[in-house]
Amino acid sequence: MAPARIALVTGAGSGIGQAVSIGLLQDGWDVALVGRRATALEETAALAAGAPGRAVTIPADVTQVDDVRRAFGLVRETWGRLDLLFNNAGVSAPAVPLEDLTLEQWRTVVDINLTGVFLCTQEAVRLMKAQSPRGGRIINNGSISAHVPRPNSAAYTATKHAVTGLTRATALDGRAFDIACGQIDIGNAATAMARGYAQGVMQPTGALMVEPLLDVQHVVDAVRLMAGLPLQANVPFLTVMATGMPYMGRG
């Protein structure tokens, strides 16, 4: 019997986090479902048909260091190790001109999209270094916005560019400890966050344009590919997007 593979997914109560969590459970992973809403996490666990008892729900706020430490402590107590962290939790700010973005809105996006990734990465690295056999994989959810911005997206774009730097630093610092780190940059996945794109989204010209959406299952399959590699192999960056979206040449 193959040894259990243990994953922790943040933002597991909805969207990409929920879909990836279900995919991992269906692939035989044991998964710690982390998010702020307990009822949403329980829904994710219930949707993973055929995987009873292999999902543990851990309500936690990734911006709060005590919550993060408690979540990873529960993983250690439950399974004794962690093989995969999917840093997925993220939010965007209102699409307003940069000068109209409030400091509170800026800090909310930075706290969740960047500081939350940092705090979870810290705890994952500590656990992966100490466990036997040591090592593991960290996958960060970047974005097309880690490459190029949309109009009126200063906070989101800044954090996603920063996540790219954190991905590179983690891959380098984890190398000596068998910790692989990569990033998936997703464009127009058909989740609640992107639902409005099918009705029309602001372009750099100021015009509204209907944009195609990508079935979220293709995102799940891409994460499965990255997660399923042996630690001797890594995908540092992978972009998956709707073919027709205005990414190439955006701006």
Residue-by-residue DSSP string for 110-167: HIIIIIHHHHHHHHHHHHHHHSSS--EEEEEE--GGGTSPPTT-HHHHHHHHHHHHHH
Q: Let me know if 156 is a catalytic residue.
A: yes
Is residue 235 helix, strand or coil? coil
Catalytic residue among 72, 79, 86, 156: 156
Contact between 83 and 6 under an 8 Å Cβ cutoff? The reply is yes
For 18, counting Cβ atoms within 10 Å of its Cβ (0-12 exposed, 13-18 middle, 19+ buried), the class is buried
Report, as residue numbers or ranges, the catalytic residues.
156
